[in-house]
Amino acid sequence: MRILIADDHPLFRDALARMVQELNPDAHIAEAGSAAELEQLLERDPSCELMLIDLRMPGSKPSQTVERLHARHPAVPIVVVSGSENPLDAEESLARGALFYLRKSLTPEAIRRHLSTLLSGELPDARDDPAMWPVERADGPRLTPRQLEVLRALSGGASNKLIARELGLSEGTVKLHVAAVIGALAVQNRTEAAARARELGLA
């Protein structure tokens, strides 16, 4: 699994990289210390399968970082790892395409637990940190264009392997998108997600 970690604080970035490597010894990790360096790494090697990025880095505006990365690399799941305690930052990050918002102020054990879940292709339980997650919207769930593609495919009965082949993604990436879809729809499994999608006219 190819993972890109971007943070302008070397000590935290190195610690996060070590934690990821311990959880997944086979992971290939690249590191960036700024938004410009992050973009350069992605241009040189677009095969990244997961991004762990700080919300505030030199050379970028917090409100634009996630949106720009998601627009340019829609197939790559983005996890924001931020020191911000403001729920609005979490809300905006998720709305602009992030898969998950992970606070730096959590204990090392909690961060490790969340990372382990993400690296296994699942989405951490939002109830572990409910203050940083957006409330359910009255106008329906927020899904990225890629998540909508995955939802429509699974609603048609496609397996993760088939979805990965059709969309040109790895199975691990598809698992993360499926987990995000299930969470966004507030259901328990793929079957319920498909039924909910039909109710909402999404599939």
Task: Specify the pLDDT at position 135.
Answer: 39
Give residue limits of the domains in the chain. Answer: 2-132, 145-200
User: Which residues make beta-bridge pairs with 82?
Assistant: 103
On the 0-12 / 13-18 / 19+ scale of CB atoms within 10 A, 191 is: exposed
Task: Specify the pLDDT at position 72.
Answer: 87
Tokens 């970690």 correspond to 5
Task: Specify the pLDDT at position 132.
Answer: 46
Find out whether 53 and 65 touch, Cβ atoms under 8 Å.
yes
Task: Specify the pLDDT at position 129.
Answer: 57
For residues 82 and 105, give the distance between their C-alpha atoms in angstroms, rounded to a whole number. 8
Find out whether 71 and 98 touch, Cβ atoms under 8 Å.
no
**What is the pTM (predicted TM-score) of this model?**
0.71
For residues 195 and 203, give the distance between their C-alpha atoms in angstroms, rounded to a whole number. 9
Task: Specify the pLDDT at position 93.
Answer: 86
Task: Specify the pLDDT at position 128.
Answer: 57
Interval 55-96: pLDDT, tens: 888 877 776 888 888 888 888 889 999 988 887 788 888 888
Tokens 């959590």 correspond to 106
What would the CATH number be for the domain defined by 2-132? 3.40.50.2300
Fold of 145-200: Arc Repressor Mutant, subunit A (1.10.10)
- Full pLDDT tens readout for the chain, 203 residues: 899 999 999 999 999 999 999 999 999 999 999 988 988 998 888 888 899 999 888 877 776 888 888 888 888 889 999 988 887 788 888 888 888 889 898 889 989 999 998 888 887 765 555 444 443 444 556 777 788 889 999 999 999 999 999 988 888 888 888 888 888 788 889 999 999 988 888 87
Find out whether 174 and 165 touch, Cβ atoms under 8 Å.
no
Task: Specify the pLDDT at position 84.
Answer: 86
